Amino acid sequence: MNTLLKIATVSALATLAACSTRTVTREVVREQPIVQQVAPERERVVVVQQPAVQTETVPPAPAATGYSWVAGYYEWRDNTWVWRPGQWVVGTVRPVPPAIQETVSSPPTTGSRWVPGYWQFAGNDWVWVRGRWL
């Protein structure tokens, strides 16, 4: 009877093993060609900065009253920065205002150069000359 019990146990285990299910997960892999993304080319902006302000000696005031000293400044002329020396002018002149922070637009063409704006003395006051592309 012992043998019969062993056979029954083995057949029961075989039946249970046959009835059990095993879940297999399959992953489908499809190879794709590698597409390299080229970084966008950065625009190179060249800014033509003014040279450092020159140190100038203020000459003695004119003998007459009513004159104001206008400090020297750089102005953009003939594709370069040109120093305009200070001068005495008739009347009261306000000091040079601080530079205006301009927004630089995209260059019109490759190789363009940006000339920043500057204050220029005209008449008896300071006038802002806007920056521009060359």
Residue 58 binned pLDDT confidence (cut-offs 50, 70, 90): confident
Average pLDDT (98-111) is 89
Q: Residue 47 in 3-state DSSP?
A: strand
Mean pLDDT of the chain: 81
Average pLDDT (116-132) is 92
pLDDT attached to residue 119: 93
Residue-wise pLDDT tens digits, 60-95: 888 888 999 998 999 999 989 999 999 999 999 998
Instruction: Let me know: does 127 contact 120? Beta carbons within 8 Å.
Output: yes
